[in-house]
Amino acid sequence: MLIWQLLDSALVPGDGAELCLHQRGDEFSITVDGYELMNSRVHHSEEVLAEITCQKIAGHKQPRVLIGGLGMGFTLASALQNLPSDAEVVVAELVPAVVVWNRQLLGQLAGFPLLDRRVTVCEGDVALLLREEYKSFDAIILDVDNGPEGLTQEDNNWLYTVSGLSVSYSSLKPGGILSVWSAFRNAVFTRRLKRVGFAVEEVQARARNSKKGAKHNIWLAKSRI
């Protein structure tokens, strides 16, 4: 019987939560303070998140996309597969160790997407990056924590407030897309997106690429033209 082995750990900047990377056979898991945050066998909804977002901006010239949260690289890899060769993808990752893991131990899982020349990595809080940009992105993909109810970083909750969503709105080009992944549906968050001015669509996607198992929620929020 295979048992989990601890490969590495790191503290989350700001609140000191501990991220741990584990391996069991060919399976990898990242936990935060003992709670599983992500697993290498469960990533279909993240891939759908990036795929449908990029489909929404198909035809945009030299699209610029921001991804908040690197995870195990599956969201990034899916975005790259669905974007043209002249695209630019900026990945904001709060925990530097996660970037190192994706360049080394986890890289093969998603096909080493960080090696793609279209990718720029910013180690830091995606919220800070959003505050610095104005009408810069064709799409913003937030794959941070569990969605509107953050786990690893309380400050992440700001992203989902009216104030945070307004900053995301301002960072989008006219007609741009803000997409948000969540483990759960949240009617309050849907109303909040609409209050900020987004046209909102919701999509459910299976956690695994099968007809069974949990479903995750994806918000596709379009800024006005």
Domain ranges of the chain: 42-222
* Selection from 106, 137, 105 nearest residue 122 by Cα: 137
pLDDT at res. 144: 82
Q: Compute the average pLDDT of residues 77-98.
A: 97
Q: Compute the average pLDDT of residues 139-153.
A: 71
More confident residue, 68 or 16: 68
Please write down the HEC assignment for all residues of the chain: CCCCEEEEEEECCCCCCEEEEEEECCEEEEEECCEEEEECCECHHHHHHHHHHHHHCCCCCCCEEEEECCCCCHHHHHHHHCCCCCCEEEEEECCHHHHHHHHCCCHHHCCCHHHCCCEEEEECCHHHHHHHCCCCEEEEEECCCCCCCCCCCHHHHHHHCHHHHHHHHHHEEEEEEEEEEECCCCHHHHHHHHHHCCEEEEEEEECCCCCCCCEEEEEEEECCC
Pick the CATH number of 42-222 from 3.40.47.10, 3.40.50.150, 3.40.50.10600, 3.90.1150.10: 3.40.50.150
pLDDT at res. 52: 98
pLDDT digit string, tens, across residues 193-219: 999 999 999 999 998 887 777 899 999
Tell me which amino acid residue 28 is: F
What gap in Å lies between CA 112 and CA 99, rounded to an integer? 11
Is the pLDDT confidence value at 121 over 90? yes
Q: Compute the average pLDDT of residues 103-110.
A: 96
* Angle made by CA atoms 188, 50, 199, in degrees to the nearest 5: 40
What gap in Å lies between CA 83 and CA 65, rounded to an integer? 9
- The residue whose two tokens read 């001015």 is 197
Average pLDDT over the chain, rounded to an integer: 92
Tell me which amino acid residue 109 is: L
Q: Which two tokens stand for residue 178?
A: 């803000």
Is the pLDDT confidence value at 76 over 80? yes
CA-to-CA dists, residue 43 to 28, 75, 102, 117, 174, angstroms: 12, 8, 15, 23, 30
